[in-house]
Structure 1
Amino acid sequence: MAGDAAPTGVEATGSKRRVRADAQRNIDSLLEAAKAVFATSGVDAPAKEIADLAGVGVGTLYRHFPQRSDLVKAVFQREVDACADAAPALSAAHEPGVALAKWLHRYTEFVATKRGLATALHSGDPAFDALPGYFMQRLGPTLGSLLEAAIASGEIRADISPKDLLYAVANLCMPVSDDGPAYSQRMVALLVDGLRHSAERQQS
C-alpha cells in the first residue's frame, strides 16, 4: 500500500539529520550537566545525577560516554575550546591590553572552577595522557596572539611567554582561600597590573 512505501531519499536524509541533531543536543546537555555536577560533587558523582540534570536517561549517558574518563575528557576539551574560541571576539571588540586582560579573566574562570577535573587529570590514569598537550595546543597559540598584540602596542612587558602566563595563572588559582574563584580573579588582576606597570617603566 502507498502508506507503507519506504521513505524517499530526501525524507530518509532528513530523518537522519534529525536523529543526528537530537543526538548532538543530548551530548551538549550531558556535557553542560557534567560540568556543573563535577564542579559541585566531583568527577566521581553518580551517573544518574548527571543524566537527571541533563534531562536524559542513564542509558543515553553511557551510549555517548561508555567510560567515566570519556566524559571527563569531553568536558575538559569542550571547556578548553570555549576558552580558546573567546579570543577572536575579544580582540575585535577591545584594545590589545584590554582584550588580553579579559581573556585572562575568562581563563581564570576556567581554571578556578575546574578543580575536580584537575584532580582527575593528575590521577595518573593513562586515559588523560593526551590532555595536557591538547591544553597547550589550543591555549598556547591563543594566548600568544593576544600577548603579541599587547606587547606590540606597548601595553604589556615583552619578556613573558604564553606558557609562563598560562602556568602563572594556574598557580594563582590554587585553593588558598575560602573566597574561591573571586580570590583567584583578584590575584590575576594584580598580575596583569604588574605586567602593565613593568611595560610603562620599560618605556620611560
Structure 2
Amino acid sequence: MIADSSRAAGQVRADAARNRQTLLAAATRVFAGSDDEPSMREIARAAGVGVGTLYRHFPTREALVDAVYQDQVGRLTTGARELLAEHPPAEALRRWMDLFAQWLATKHGMTDTLLAMVDTGEISLAHTRRELLTAIGTILDAGAEAGQIRADVRAEDVSSAILGLLAVAGKREDTEQAARLLDLLMDGLRPR
C-alpha cells in the first residue's frame, strides 16, 4: 500500500513537472511571437490547457514571466557548455550567438512586465549579466586555448557587440541581416 501511494505521488510530481515544461515552452513561443503582451488565456490556449491550469502553476503574470526568463537564462548558460562539448569553440560561440538572439526575441511579448520586475528588484539584471558573461567567457577561453578565437577578446566586449548588432537587426523580419552581422562579428574574433 505504501509503495503504491509513493508511486502515485511520484507520478503526480512527474505529470506536474511535464505540465510546467509544456506551459513554459508555450509561453516562450507566444512571448517570442508577439509584439504586445499576450493574455494569460492566449498562453494557456497555446499550451492546450485551460487558464486555470496555467494559474495553478503560475499564479501571476509576473510568476510566468520570471519562470520563462530564468528558463531562458539557464538554457543560455547550459547551452554554452553543451555547445562546447559538441562543437569546436569557434563554431560553439557562433551557435551560442544564435541562442542569445532567440533569447532576446523571447522577451518581445513580455517587455513591460519584465521591465517592471527589474524596477522592483524581482529580477536582477546584474545576476543575469554575470551568468551570461561567464558562459561567453567559457567559450572564449576554450577558443583561445584551441587557437580558434583571439586571446585578447573579453566577454564584456562580445556581449556588447552582440547586443548592439541585435539592436539594429533584432526584429523577426531582420533574421537574415542579423545572421550576416553575427557572422561578421565572428570573423573579427578569429585570430589573424
Normalising to structure 1: TM-score of the pair?
0.82
SS in 2 for 1:174: helix
* Residue 70 of structure 1, aligned match among 28, 50, 63: 63
CA distance in 1, matches of 2:174, 2:45: 27
Q: How many residues align?
A: 191
Residue 38 of structure 1 is matched in structure 2 by 31
Structure number with greater Rg is 1
Q: 1:84 to 1:68 in 2, by over 3 A?
A: same
Q: 1:90 to 1:33 in 2, by over 3 A?
A: same
Structure with greater proportional helix content: 2
Moved more, 98-107 or 74-83: 98-107
Deviation at 1:42, TM superposition (A): 4.5
* Residue 25 of structure 1, aligned match among 15, 18, 31: 18
The letter for the 2-side match of 1:186 is R
* Residue 171 of structure 1, aligned match among 137, 146, 164: 164
Normalising to structure 2: TM-score of the pair?
0.86
The letter for the 2-side match of 1:168 is A
Moved more, 45-54 or 152-161: 152-161
Same amino acid, percent of matched pairs: 37
Kindly indicate whether the alpha-carbon contact (under 8 Å) linking 2:20 and 2:57 is maintained by their aligned counterparts in 1: yes
Deviation at 1:105, TM superposition (A): 2.5
CA distance in 2, matches of 1:178, 1:108: 10
Kindly indicate whether the alpha-carbon contact (under 8 Å) linking 1:87 and 1:142 is maintained by their aligned counterparts in 2: yes
Consecutive unaligned residues of structure 1, counting only runs of 5 or more, are 1-7
Residue 126 of structure 2 is matched in structure 1 by 133
Deviation at 1:10, TM superposition (A): 0.7
CA distance in 2, matches of 1:101, 1:80: 17
Residue 185 of structure 1 is matched in structure 2 by 179
- 1:195 is the counterpart of 2:189: yes
* Residue 85 of structure 1, aligned match among 78, 82, 92: 78
